[in-house]
């Protein structure tokens, strides 16, 4: 493994961290395709097709994959922002689908989300103080003075001046808005935060600041993160465990260290080979796996292995039989008929 690139967090696999906080089992989400005069359902987009995930307290699980692979949908399913077609999400033992409206509202304190677009994430008609104070009012019924105190504290936590509270979002830069978005997610002291592409809309120079902030908050507050990202450098930096998604399915999952050093699924190998290496000599000599074509339409996924249409290893068996996720190492599971570990894929 080349030095300087892969710095996987923590010393060991995520198994050493806390007990399971969030357990998703066989999540499926189909979106109906409507057409015709009467808006009849003419087909289904299979956005998420049977995803099972576990997030432990204090760890970061990353969901990676191309755009359109269902990772953002999965993130929203985990928070019950959209209802799954099938499957369950248990948060600390609570089955979110069975909670009453009141119970769900109460439970929502414990899991929050940070969004991708810093320009759409804040209500343009509300001051930062109002945005951050609102959850405290709604959930705790705090009076103005107490809310103001907590808002100051939140702004300070994310590295913004407390005086910013009476400004409107349009007075801030993208990076500052993203910090406000993080402060809002922290307001109710959640245990888990879904980070939906938290830095991909920011300048590279700003990204590092946000990543460090997220890392510091996790260490200080013991937060669990579900990080949705397509930038593998960010993922490497923050993750304890990684799940690689392709067309609505998890194709490989495991401790970040194992997955990055010895990817077994051809799709993971191709993804990793696209990560630039900050050493021109290594970069010049390494073999890049470039996938041809586009991902198939999720309205009409291929039979058998969903990746077979772009896989250089595909054989007849891949068309007929869908590969299951099979354990290959401690917590390292791969869904491929012909898994082959490439040691040091970046070399």
Partner 1 sequence: MSWPEDLGSVHAVRPLWASAWRRFRRNKMAMAGLAFLVALVVAAVLAPWITRYGPTEGIEGAYRQPPSWAHPFGTDKIGRDVFSRVVYGARVSLRIGFASTVISVVIGLLFGAVAGFFGGLVDTLIMRLTDVFLAIPYIVLAIAIAAVAGRSEHSIIVVLGLTGWLGLARIVRASFLSLKQLEYVEAARAMGYSRARIMFRHILPNAGQPVIVYSTVLIGGVILSEAALSYLGVGPQAPTPAWGLMVSEGKGDLARSAHLLLLPGGAICLTVLAFMLVGDGLRDALDPKLI
Q: Is 123 in the site for partner 1 (CB under 8 A)?
A: yes
Cα separations (Å) of 106 from 90, 101, 137? 15, 9, 13
Which residues lie below 8 Å from residue 330, measured CB to CB, with a gap of 6+? Answer: 13, 15, 255, 258
Sequential DSSP letters for 117-147: -TTTSS-TTS-HHHHHHHHHHHHH---HHHH
Site map for partner 1, 182-201, x if CB under 8 A?
A: --x---x-------------
Q: Is 47 in the site for partner 1 (CB under 8 A)?
A: no
CB of 277 to partner 1, least distance (A): 34
Site map for partner 1, 62-91, x if CB under 8 A?
A: --------------x--x-x----------
Binder to partner 1 among 66, 92, 134, 231 (CB under 8 A)? Answer: 134
Binder to partner 1 among 5, 28, 94, 104 (CB under 8 A)? Answer: 104
* Closest to partner 1 by CB, 121 or 268: 121
* Closest to partner 1 by CB, 130 or 275: 130
Binder to partner 1 among 66, 92, 117, 322 (CB under 8 A)? Answer: 117
CA angle 157, 162, 168 (to 5 degrees): 110
Between strands 60-64 and 224-229, the pairing is: parallel
Near partner 1 in 143-162, by CB under 8 A: 144, 147-148, 161-162
Q: Is 115 in the site for partner 1 (CB under 8 A)?
A: yes
Is 313 exposed, middle or buried, given 0-12, 13-18 or 19+ CB atoms closer than 10 A?
A: middle
Q: Where are the beta strands (DSSP E) in 9-133?
A: 20-35, 40-56, 60-64, 86-91, 94-95, 111-114
Binder to partner 1 among 57, 90, 109, 150 (CB under 8 A)? Answer: 109
Q: Is 265 in the site for partner 1 (CB under 8 A)?
A: no
* Closest to partner 1 by CB, 147 or 241: 147
Cα separations (Å) of 108 from 142, 145, 168, 193? 18, 24, 26, 11
Binder to partner 1 among 19, 93, 170, 220 (CB under 8 A)? Answer: 170
Question: Starting at the edge strand that comes first in sequence, how are the strands of the sheet with 111-114 ordered?
Answer: 111-114, 192-196, 224-229, 60-64, 241-246, 249-255, 332-334, 326-329
Which residues lie below 8 Å from residue 11, measured CB to CB, with a gap of 6+? Answer: none
DSSP class of residue 297 equals P
CB of 5 to partner 1, least distance (A): 32
CB of 222 to partner 1, least distance (A): 20
End-to-end CA distance of the chain: 7
Q: Is 106 in the site for partner 1 (CB under 8 A)?
A: yes
Q: Is 139 in the site for partner 1 (CB under 8 A)?
A: yes
Binder to partner 1 among 14, 58, 70, 135 (CB under 8 A)? Answer: 135
CB of 58 to partner 1, least distance (A): 21
Q: Is 228 in the site for partner 1 (CB under 8 A)?
A: no
Q: Is 286 in the site for partner 1 (CB under 8 A)?
A: no
- Residue 288 has which token pair? 């890049």
Crossing angle for the helix pair 204-221 and 174-186, nearest 10 degrees? 20
Separation CA 14–CA 12 (nearest Å): 7
Q: Is 287 in the site for partner 1 (CB under 8 A)?
A: no
Which residues lie below 8 Å from residue 21, measured CB to CB, with a gap of 6+? Answer: 55, 56, 57, 91, 92, 191, 192, 224
* Closest to partner 1 by CB, 13 or 129: 129
Interface ranges with partner 1 (CB under 8 A): 76, 79, 81, 104-109, 112-113, 115-117, 120-125, 127, 129-130, 133-135, 138-139, 144, 147-148, 161-168, 170-171, 181, 184, 188
């Amino acid at each position: 493994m080349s030095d300087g690139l892969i710095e996987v967090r923590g010393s060991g696999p995520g198994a050493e961290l806390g007990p399971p906080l969030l357990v998703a089992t066989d999540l499926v989400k189909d979106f109906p395709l409507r057409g015709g005069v009467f808006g009849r359902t003419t087909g289904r987009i299979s956005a998420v097709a049977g995803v099972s995930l576990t997030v432990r307290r204090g760890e970061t699980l990353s969901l990676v994959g191309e755009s359109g692979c269902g990772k953002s949908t999965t993130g929203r399913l985990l928070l019950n922002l959209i209802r799954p077609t099938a499957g369950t999400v248990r948060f600390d033992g609570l089955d979110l689908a069975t909670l009453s409206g009141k119970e769900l509202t109460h439970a929502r304190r414990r899991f929050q989300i940070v969004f991708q677009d810093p320009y759409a994430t804040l209500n343009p008609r509300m001051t930062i103080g109002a945005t951050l104070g609102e959850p405290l009012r709604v959930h705790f019924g705090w009076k103005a003075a107490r809310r103001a105190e907590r808002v100051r504290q939140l702004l300070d936590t994310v590295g913004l001046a407390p005086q910013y509270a009476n400004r409107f979002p349009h007075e801030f830069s993208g990076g500052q808005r993203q910090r406000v978005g993080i402060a809002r997610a922290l307001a109710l002291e959640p245990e888990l935060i879904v980070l939906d592409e938290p830095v991909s809309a920011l300048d590279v120079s700003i990204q590092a600041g946000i990543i460090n902030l997220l890392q510091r908050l996790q260490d200080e507050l013991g937060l669990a993160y579900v990080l949705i990202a397509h930038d593998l450098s960010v993922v490497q930096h923050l993750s304890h465990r990684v799940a690689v998604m392709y067309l609505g399915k998890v194709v490989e999952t495991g401790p970040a260290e194992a997955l990055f050093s010895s990817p077994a699924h051809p799709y993971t190998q191709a993804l990793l080979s696209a990560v630039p290496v900050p050493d021109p000599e290594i970069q010049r000599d390494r073999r890049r796996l470039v996938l041809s074509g586009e991902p198939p339409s999720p309205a009409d996924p291929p039979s058998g292995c969903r990746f077979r249409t772009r896989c250089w290893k595909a054989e007849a068996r891949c068309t007929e039989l869908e590969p299951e996720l099979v354990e290959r190492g401690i917590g390292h599971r791969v869904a491929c008929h012909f898994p082959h570990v490439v040691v040091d894929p970046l070399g």
